[in-house]
Amino acid sequence: MLKRILQFGFVIIFCFSNLTAQKDEFRNLENKAFSVGERLTFDVKYGFVTAGVAVMEIPQIKKIAKRDVFHVRFNVNSLESFDGLFKVRDRYETYLDVKGLFPWRFEQHIREGNFSRDFSAFFDQRKNSAKTSKGTYKIPPYVNDIVSAFYLARTLNFDSLKVGESFHLENFFKDKVYPLDVVYRGKEKVKVEAGTFNCIMIEPLVVEGGLFKSEGNIIIWLTDDNVKMPVKVKSKILIGSIDAELTSYEGIKPKLAATK
């Protein structure tokens, strides 16, 4: 009888330890910022001219590596009226772990004028490796792609920072891991077509990876609340600047406290 009790106790302990190990396999981060169904639409302007439309959305949750992931899409298309000058059809996709907010897969498809680029990476977060068409590369735990880094930044608490201080992230692209610091630049009220919002301003210091890379500084305005919804992006280029301004939003689950 005692033997059976000991055997039963061993089985219970073994099963519990397995469940604990599975539960703690990856980090769990609190996310009050975004969820499935979110869709943000922006006008993209070159100077005073509206040149295109950008859409950031999370249409669904999928499964990768036995994990639930947000399927995140970011598309930028020039308007037909602007295509004759410079046609743009850019698409970025990331598959972001729902609980840990780190990427499992990233895709970049660039069509800008005569330039094109296609890049994809599978992040094996269990083996700390990134596999691309060119090879397999060592990566640190929870490394980001440029899109997942942006969504992760929306969950950070910038209230703890002084102006000029930053959060340090890491971004994998092509065959290397690049530093990606997100600098807090203060607060400002912003009026766009979608409304007027109290915002915080951040500056991502992007070395490589596309999306927000430019010849100069990039400033992003996020609502000053838990959602940190992007409202405006200003990016300096060689000649002038490119702005993206929010025109509509839907699927925002938390209430926007920063709306005015």
pLDDT of residue 197 exceeding 60: yes
Query: So what's the pLDDT on residue 206?
Result: 75
**How many whole angstroms separate alpha carbon 244 and alpha carbon 118?**
23
- Extract the tokens encoding 208: 């490589």
Residue 186 lies in a domain: yes
Q: pLDDT, tens digit, for every residue of 51-77?
A: 999 999 999 999 999 999 999 999 999
- The length of the chain is 260
Which residue in 143, 228, 202, 205 sits closest to 177, CA to CA?
143
DSSP helix/strand/coil, 22: helix
Residue 257 lies in a domain: no
Residue 162 lies in a domain: yes
pLDDT of residue 4 exceeding 70: no
**How many whole angstroms separate alpha carbon 210 and alpha carbon 155?**
21
Are 123 and 172 in contact by the 8 Å Cβ rule? The answer is yes
Question: Span 6-10, mean pLDDT?
Answer: 43
CATH label of the domain that carries residue 204: 2.40.360
Which residue in 167, 163, 112, 161 sits closest to 144, CA to CA?
167
Q: State the DSSP code for 45.
A: E
Residues spanned by the domain of 136 = 26-250
Residue 112 backbone phi and psi in degrees, to 5: -130, 105
Residue 17 lies in a domain: no
Residue 255 lies in a domain: no
Residue 226 lies in a domain: yes
pLDDT of residue 23 exceeding 80: no
Residue 259 lies in a domain: no
DSSP helix/strand/coil, 125: coil
Residue 203 lies in a domain: yes
| Contact residues for 64 (Cβ-Cβ < 8 A; gap 6+) | 95, 104, 105
| Contact residues for 187 (Cβ-Cβ < 8 A; gap 6+) | 198, 199, 200, 201, 224
Q: pLDDT, tens digit, for every residue of 166-178?
A: 999 999 999 999 9
pLDDT of residue 215 exceeding 90: no
The number of helix segments (H) and strand segments (E) in the chain equals 3, 14
Q: How many domains does the chain have?
A: 1
Which residue in 155, 160, 130 sits closest to 145, CA to CA?
130
